[in-house]
Each structure stands twice: as C-alpha cells, then as structure tokens.
Amino acid sequence: MQSFMLALICCVMSSDFIVQSFALPSILRFLPEGMSAVVVLYVLFAGTRDRFQLVAPKYWLAFGALGVVIVCGAINNDTGAGPISSGLRFYLRAVPLFFLPATLPFSERQLKQQFNWLLGAALLQIPVAVYQRWTIMQADRYSGDDVKGTVMDSGILSMFLICAVLVLTGLLLRRRISKLWYATLFLVLLIPTTINETKGTIILLPIGLLVTLLVGSESGKRWRYTGMALIVMSIFGAAFIPVYNSMEVNNPWKQERNLIDFFTDKKNLQKYMSSNVAGVGTTQDVRRGDAIVVPLQYLAQDPTRLAFGLGIGNVSASNMGKSFEGAYFGLFQKFLITSFTVFLLELGGLGVIIVAVLFWLVFMDTLTVARNDKTLLGAMAAGWTGVIVLFVVGLFYTIFHEFTSVTYLYWYFSGIICARRVSLAHERQYAPHPASNRRIEAMGQTEVLQ
C-alpha cells in the first residue's frame, strides 16, 4: 500500500499539469477519482473487519449530519442527477483518504518516505514556477496568475508551499530538522509565492506560523523560536516586497504599485474587497466581500434555502458536460471565487456550520497529538495545527475544494493524526496504573525472597 500512496501523491500533484502540458486525453484528469475508488474498496473491506476502531464516533456523527444536509438540500431544490453526481465528486472524492490511516496504519519509516516525496514535489514547484514566470515576461504579460506550478492555480500553489513550510516548522520545533536546513528550505520554498504575486501570502504565512509556534514550542522556548521565525520572515519580506513591486511597475492593469501602500490605503483595500455589485446575475468583477454578502442576502429570502442551500452541485460548473452543470451556475457564476461561497450556496448555513465543526474536531485532535506524542507524528501534528487554521482562512481566500492536490493531502494527513489520537487514548486506557506497577514489582520481589 505504500507504493500506492506514493503514486497517489504524484498523481494529485501533477496529473492535471501533465494532461494539459502534453495534450493527453481529458479522461486522465479523473485518475485521482479512480484511485479514491480503490481506497473506498480497501477501507470498506479492512474497516468492517476491525470495526473502524481507530475512527472516533464524533466523525461518524459529523459526516452523517453533513449527509443529511446534502440529501435535504437536493430534495428541497429538486436537484437533477447530473449536478448531484458532479457535486458529490468534488465534495467527497478526498474523504476516503481520511479513513484510510484508521484501517491501515503506516510505520514511521513509511511516513518519513511520504514526507520526503512531498518535499520533493514542493521543491519541483520552484523550477516550474520560474519557467512559467519567464514565459509570461517573454510574452510581455504582467499577471502572476499563470505562475501556478503543477497544481494549476497560483493561490493553491501558495497555500501548498506555505503548508509545507508550516510542517517543516513543526519538525524544527521537535528537533527533527536542523535550523540551517529549515531556514534554507523556508526561503527557497517561498520563491514561487513571490513571483506569482499572491498578496494572500502576507496574511496566510504569519497566521500559520503564529499558530504553529504557539502550539509546538516548549513553554520556555517560545520567545526564542518566535524571534527566529521573525528574523526569517523579515528576510523573506525584504525579498518579497521589492520583487512584487518591481513586477507591477509597468503593469497597465493595476493601480497599486507598492504592496505596503496597498495594505495601508483604506480606499484601495476596500475596493479590493468589494466592488458594490447590484446583486446576483451581475457581469461585473466580483470581489471576496461581495462573494459573501450577496449570496447570503439571496438565501436569506427563503429560510429553508438559508438552512440547506440550493442543493449540492446546483451552483457549480462541470467539466463532464452541460447536463452536469448546476441550474444556478449562470446566476452565481461571478461569485464562485471562494470555497465559503460555494459551501454557503450549495450546503446552506447548516452545511457551513458542520464544515466548521469538522475543522474544529480535527484541530482539537491535532492539538492533543502535538502535545502528547513524541514521535514523528507529534512533530508533524505541531505544524499541522497551523495548516488547519490556514485552510479555515483559505475558505475565504480561494476555491481550494476543487483541487485534488491540497484536498487529498489535507484529508489524508488529517486522518493519520486523528487515528493517532484514538490510538493514544487506547494506550492510556490500557496502560497499567503506577500503583499497579508498584504492586506487581513488590509481588515479584516477594516471590524471589520465597
């Protein structure tokens, strides 16, 4: 199964890129879904055999509640079979990876190998991103949106690389990597986030690092590690801001020439967050603030739709044909720029609450593992706390649930940590009490004396 997982990592990180670059048949884009089907079969076979002992009941309740919301939303809106199939594909294709570690625990050596392959995939983004930036400059274009590595989106590329840095931070805090290697990888891995001009890096990176440092650092060393992180971030910022500004000097499409001025100018920042669109069906460019307010106002007109949404897949486009496209896609097409908006429209308020609960459950389990596990998984969990918070913020930043690269990896490694949380609870439950140990030792000594 280790070979299968390594193949899956390669697949989700590069399948779309390879299909597009070499004009391969489009059906190969569904390879991650095919591998998910294999995982489902294995999980059902192995899980029913051991009764899913490493899956906490709270996750069955959460996923079950989400299933009820999906069914209610589909029935209430009379959603067609095509949109339902397309929606289920996007929402559920990565979830089997969450249950896989509970039915097939991987050894520390195997996890280390998986981490190394992911680090290799992260480092691969650097030459690919540099080449993509060079291509843009050769064509006298200015936008960094096409600097997207092998994950097919600039925002997703930045999220993936920041997550890699956060996991490395957890390894550093638990002395699993040297400070020199950490500082080098920190600066190198963030090169693509500089040349693709994602402003979100300025927000996502500090938030993720702050959470990781607060959770992962030993109580007496938090200030030292925080100071070191600030130094490394200052070096990165000293490179990021001038590079970003230099790429915008001759850009005729953007008014903001200086990144610092952009974040300090209230008028520009307000314009970036909202364009004051009139309502649904607009042809204007929609900003992230509009993508939250306008759909919420639309749903608020009907309490049932506010609760259960417009139906899974009923707002989304589909690359499987027109019959799989949602009935409301044309109405909300311009607003579908964040995962939060899609979740709100298709799952409703109750669905968004359940998604938030799932994030919270995974975060609390990750926190427990980070504080109590001294193995490689404990170090990884320390960094994963920052990753989870990054994904929560990412709900309002990009439409990440459509990308197999980050969703498959998120659910898989979250599943590893949550299964370890249950395993730790079992170990404590069946561990002998210290008083019992003393009694056993005393009995042994008595037998020797006799």
In a domain, 31, yes or no: yes
* pLDDT of 37 higher than 70: yes
- 223-262: per-residue pLDDT in tens? 777 777 777 778 777 777 787 777 766 666 565 556 766 6
The burial of 309, by beta-carbon neighbours within 10 Å (0-12 exposed, 13-18 middle, 19 or more buried), is given as buried
Tell me the CB-side half-sphere exposure of residue 274, using CA atoms within 13 A: 12
In a domain, 301, yes or no: no
Question: Of 294, 333, 338, 339, which is closest to residue 316 (Cα–Cα)?
Answer: 333
In a domain, 242, yes or no: yes
SS3 67: helix
Residue 430's pLDDT band, with cuts at 50, 70 and 90, is low
Number of CB atoms found within 10 A of residue 221's CB:
12
- 279-290: per-residue pLDDT in tens? 787 777 888 888
Tally of domains within the chain: 1
- 40-84: per-residue pLDDT in tens? 999 999 998 888 999 999 999 999 999 999 999 999 999 999 999
Q: How far is CA 209 from the centre of its chain?
A: 15
Cα 157 to Cα 124, 139, 205, 243: the distances in Å are 12, 22, 13, 18
449: tokens are 């004396």
In a domain, 189, yes or no: yes
In a domain, 441, yes or no: no
- 316-349: per-residue pLDDT in tens? 988 777 888 999 998 999 999 999 999 999 999 9
Question: Of 133, 125, 121, which is closest to residue 158 (Cα–Cα)?
Answer: 125
In a domain, 12, yes or no: yes
Confidence (pTM): 0.90
For residue 448, what pLDDT is reported?
38
In a domain, 325, yes or no: yes
Containing domain of residue 238, as a range?
2-274+309-427
Contact 353, 312 (CB under 8 A): no
CA distance 282 to 331: 8
- 123-173: per-residue pLDDT in tens? 999 999 999 999 988 887 777 788 999 999 999 999 999 999 999 999 999
For residue 442, what pLDDT is reported?
46
- 382-424: per-residue pLDDT in tens? 999 999 999 999 999 999 999 999 999 999 999 999 999 999 9
SS3 251: coil
